[in-house]
Amino acid sequence: MGRWWDLHKTYGPAYELSVPFFRLVVINHPKYMEYIQKTNFNNFIKGYEAKRNFHQLQRDGIFTSDGQAWYTQRKAATKAFTKKNFENHITTVLHRHLETLLKLLKRLADERMAFDFQDVMSRLLVCSTIQILFHVSTGMDNIFTSEPSCLHEICEFTEAFDKAQYLFDERRRNSLWPWTERLSGKDKLTSRAVDLIYGYMNEIIERRLQQKSSEDKQDQEEKGQVDLLDLFMQSTRDKDDLAGMCVNFLLAGRDTTAYSIAWFLLEILRPENARYTLVQRARDDIQTTGVNEYLGYGESAKLKFLNAIWNEVLRLDPVAPAGQLEVAADDVLPAVPEMDIPARPVRKGDCVVWHNYVLSRMPELWGPDAEDFKPDRWFSEDGQLQQPSPFTFHSWNAGPRTCLGKGFATHEAISVFAAVLPSFDFELVEPNKIYEGSSGMNMGVQDGLWVRVKERKDL
Ligand code: HEM
């Protein structure tokens, strides 16, 4: 990530890189983002490269699809995050998992045991996300319980998931992967990880296909009990297609949120941020808002300071640090007069690439203190939370392909901190370490976030 920032300092917001088979055009400016993700949205597609790299894992799911195939899935999935679904199902599942988390932290506190908070969040998130999206118990209850010994449990599914994230990310950086994977034998590891993931997903889908009569669908939808699989089944009953669609959502939902929650904890504990008294201000926010330890639907938005920290975390530690799209037909990117950059032609088959990591650090967009972690920047003078244009604050993507899980992930993260901060003090095991972002499809805290926890006595 630091390398992109160095390249930006040398070449500015727009430059080209040559890689085997195609040309990469780097475009780090909101003007470009608005052009490719809104003004001329249809000409910038996931395209051939996304399919070539990720089809084996993501099939024709939302992340690799364009046109009608993308639109159908997007429309169906939007209904999984309605107010009714939040009120009836999402919060219930989340509360159950938060209850387990609090008990687990208490045990870890009693034993003064150091643990990887990022790993705990990945466990919580995989269990809750599967239940929220597919209304099934996961069959991996042993990996997240109130007993510290659960942290030694591994399951084949999550292991395969982790491996796949790493292996497929490597393909993005090596366009010769079809050859190098075969030569190194990595193709077998990749296939094994993919088979394990789909084996698990297929079981859920087969059970549902057998159970499901469609008569009660409308009733379920009205009660807010419909899940993502039901919604996808309204457009297809093909098992392989359904599995692909569902796996995309698990990929979207677990690591992104778990890692962002880990970055949140790191930022509020870092010694260099101590002057902002973030933990104390977050606790004051929770106390003055008067919410319970388990937030109801709509309550996460009331915790303004926690939301400001969350936004700042997503800005400086974007778990999706980069993105790319393919140019469908010859085009011309707009000029950026304020940075003295002329219009730039791009050709069919080029890939345009942006780095959220860089967009978030540009002083031209965020001011001279762009690289400082300062949640207060999110408040206007009258104390309201402000939202810059999504083409500037680009960590959630923008335009018609904006992250579908933004509200969901935000609610999950704020709920975690509203539950744990009033009852526990956290401390970093290595406060002076230089924490780096991990490589992989999402950027986590490299080597995890090791902490100790203490119950608060002054309650
Ligand atoms: C902190 C957490 C999250 C962040 C920072 C995040 C960020 C992003 C980004 C940058 C994209 C664009 C990716 C691309 O097109 O290559 C995206 C897309 C998407 N996200 Fe998220 N995401 C988060 C959590 C979630 C969750 C929890 C879900 C749902 C379970 C979700 C569902 C999706 C979906 C379905 C898309 C594809 C949208 C489309 O192409 O129309 N995300 N997200």
In a structure prediction context, what are the per-residue pLDDT tens digits for the chain, which is 459 residues long?
889 999 999 999 999 998 888 899 999 999 999 999 999 999 999 999 999 999 999 999 999 999 999 999 999 999 888 888 888 889 999 999 999 999 999 999 999 999 999 999 999 999 999 999 888 887 888 999 999 999 999 888 889 988 998 899 999 889 899 999 999 999 999 999 999 999 999 999 999 988 865 545 555 555 556 788 988 898 889 999 999 999 999 999 889 999 999 999 999 999 999 999 999 999 999 999 999 999 998 999 999 999 999 999 999 999 999 999 999 999 999 999 999 999 999 999 999 999 999 999 999 999 999 999 999 999 999 999 999 999 999 999 999 999 999 999 999 999 999 999 999 999 999 999 999 999 888 999 999 999 999 999 755
**Distance (Å, rounded) from C-alpha 345 to C-alpha 437?**
33
CA-nearest residue, atom 18 of ligand 1: 403
Q: Given ligand 1 and candidates 256, 326, 416, which is best to mutate, with the most ligand atoms within 8 Å of its CB?
A: 256
Report the C-alpha gap between 37 and 399 in whole angstroms.
Answer: 5
- Answer yes or no: is the C-beta of 444 below 6 A from any ligand 1 atom: no
397 lines ligand 1 (CB under 6 A): yes
35 CA from centroid of ligand 1 (Å): 20
CB of 401 sitting under 6 A from ligand 1: yes
Task: Please state the atom number of ligand 1 nearest to the C-alpha of residue 260.
Answer: 1
Q: Is 226 helix (H, G, I), strand (E, B) or coil?
A: coil
pLDDT given for residue 215 in this prediction: 47
3-state SS class at 25: strand
| Cα–Cα dist 397/356, whole Å | 9
Give 243-294 as a DSSP string. Answer: HHHHHHHHHHHSHHHHHHHHHHHHHHH-GGGGGG-HHHHHHHHHHHHT--SS
Ligand 1 atom with least separation from CA of 62: 40
Listing DSSP states for 343-360 in one string gives -EEE-TT-EEEEEHHHHT
Spans of all domains in the chain: 47-272+425-455
Between the CA of residue 150 and those of 100, 118, 304, what are the distances in Å? 11, 14, 34
- Fold designation for 47-272+425-455: Cytochrome p450 (1.10.630)
Pocket test for ligand 1, best of 259, 397, 414, 415 (most atoms within 8 A of CB): 397
pLDDT of residue 213: 55
Q: Is the CB of 395 under 6 A from ligand 1?
A: yes
Q: Does residue 443's CB lie within 6 angstroms of at least one atom of ligand 1?
A: no
What does DSSP say about strands 322-327 and 115-116: parallel, antiparallel, or unpaired?
unpaired
Q: SS3 of 305, please?
A: helix
Contact at 8 Å (CB) between 26 and 380?
no
Please identify, by atom number, the ligand 1 atom nearest to the C-alpha of residue 314.
5
Please tell me whether residue 239 adopts helix, strand or coil conformation. helix
